[in-house]
A and B are shown apart, each in its own frame.
Chain A
Amino acid sequence: MAAAVGAAEGGLKKILILERLPRLGGILNQCIHLGFGLTYFKEEMTGTEYAARYKKMVYERDIEARTSCFVHTITPQKEITFVCADGEYTVSAKHIVMATGCRERTREMLTVPGTRPAGIFTAGLAQEMVNIYGVMPGKEVVVIGSGDIGLIMARRMTLEGATVHAVLEILDHLSGLIRNKVQCLDDFGIPLYLQHEPLEIIGRDRVEAIRYRNNQTGEHKILPCDTVLFSVGLIPEQDLLIDAGIEPGNGIHLVGNADYIHDYVDAVTREAEKLGRLLA
């Protein structure tokens, strides 16, 4: 959205936003917590408010935004093919801005041994379940990794009535922001175990426990739980380019988390607006 607004501000006339989901805003729509907009809008707002504010800026300008459109192919000639409710279309463009965000690293990417029962989620997926669909992933939770989403979800699950037994972090320091540790873990008495590594997920049909090791002492422990949330890093989403064998450049641009992972949406917005203006 920010790239489109930037381009429109710069005077570009024909701008099309293609969004896979039914509404604009992406992951911001599931971020109901505060902490957004402090540097860009100079006020603290929730992710949903940030998205709403930006959506308004898009709709006020001469920008065509199509939702529920799934882009499946991009060619080096800058032709984009997408499907939507009324069929399949191919459009060509002078510039393509890939603002596709990122994906979460999963349990499989960490290769945590053990069985494959129900009850294993990435933190962002759990966030979508709770905040958008109102479904609780489980009641007795262990969070693996101390990324910001994991911290935010530890609090969110606690507020919704679950018990978060621990946040395990393999490193000797927190990977998220300190303020998130303070207001998400310390406020609710959730312990953070640094230098602790998950060794095995135990459970037949549903997660029953997790075995982990304290890497300082070498001590093993088994912690009963029914849900494991992974918050172990994000990977830029560039599959469209990878599938087509295209490198960015020559009119194809990556922006925001699709380029590299940012800590703040405000920084993404600035970067994208600047890119938009450059393209105009």
Chain B
Amino acid sequence: MAKESTKKFICIICPQCCELETDGTEVKGAKCKRGKEFALQEVVLPLRVITTTIRGEAKEARRMIPVKTACPLPLEDIPQIMRYIKGVRISEIPALGSRINVGGYSKPIELIVTGE
């Protein structure tokens, strides 16, 4: 990572949308600590939480179940990760907040159920 060049981002942590500038060690423009962390992480490897749905095949209610990943995952791998998540089928209606494991990716992915 070239330290002399600075990179600019718009922070996506909260709706204030701070304009951040970083050279990899110092962060300018962040109004909070989380923004600083975001900028430093963004230089190395952009991470995002994925929110999507998985197909529920319960007899009483066939419907989509909303989920999010338990931790942020590399942005560049999202298309690949989405393929693994889309393969998941569950036969019962999961409780809000329950966790579902997804295999296939280089490390285990945990999904959190976000809806009832």
Chain A: residues with CB nearer than 8 A to chain B?
Answer: 23, 29, 32-35, 38, 45-46, 48-49, 51-52, 55, 130-134, 159-161, 177-179, 182-183, 187, 263-264
Q: List 17 A-B contacts (CB under 8 A).
A: A23-B116, A34-B51, A38-B15, A46-B114, A55-B116, A130-B64, A131-B64, A132-B64, A134-B55, A134-B63, A134-B64, A159-B82, A160-B52, A177-B15, A179-B11, A179-B15, A183-B12
Question: Is the CB of B88 closer than 8 A to any CB of chain A?
Answer: no
B: interface residue count bin: 20 to 34
- The answer to whether A32 touches B66 (Cβ under 8 A) is yes
Residues facing A in B1-60 (CB within 8 A) are 9-12, 14-15, 17, 46, 48-53, 55
Cα A182 to Cα B15 in complex, Å, equals 12
- The answer to whether B116 touches A52 (Cβ under 8 A) is yes
Cα A132 to Cα B53 in complex, Å, equals 9
Residues of chain A within 8 A (CB-CB) of B52 are: 32, 159-160
B75 CB to closest chain A CB, in angstroms?
6
- The answer to whether A264 touches B66 (Cβ under 8 A) is no
Residues of chain A within 8 A (CB-CB) of B15 are: 35, 38, 177, 179, 263-264
Residues of chain B within 8 A (CB-CB) of A130 are: 53, 64
- The answer to whether A134 touches B115 (Cβ under 8 A) is no
Cα A33 to Cα B49 in complex, Å, equals 10
CB < 8 Å: which of B14, B64, B114 contacts A49? B114
Cα A161 to Cα B67 in complex, Å, equals 17
Q: If the complex has contacts A32-B115, A48-B115, are A134 and B53 also in contact, measured as CB distance less than 8 A?
A: yes
- The answer to whether A133 touches B48 (Cβ under 8 A) is no
Question: Is the CB of B90 closer than 8 A to any CB of chain A?
Answer: no
Residues of chain B within 8 A (CB-CB) of A263 are: 15
Question: Is the CB of B71 closer than 8 A to any CB of chain A?
Answer: no
Residues of chain B within 8 A (CB-CB) of A46 are: 51, 66, 68, 114-115
- The answer to whether A179 touches B53 (Cβ under 8 A) is no
Cα A263 to Cα B9 in complex, Å, equals 23
What residue in chain B is nearest A186 (Cβ atoms)? B10
A170 CB to closest chain B CB, in angstroms?
22
- The answer to whether A187 touches B48 (Cβ under 8 A) is yes
Cα A160 to Cα B66 in complex, Å, equals 13
Residues of chain B within 8 A (CB-CB) of A179 are: 10-12, 14-15, 17
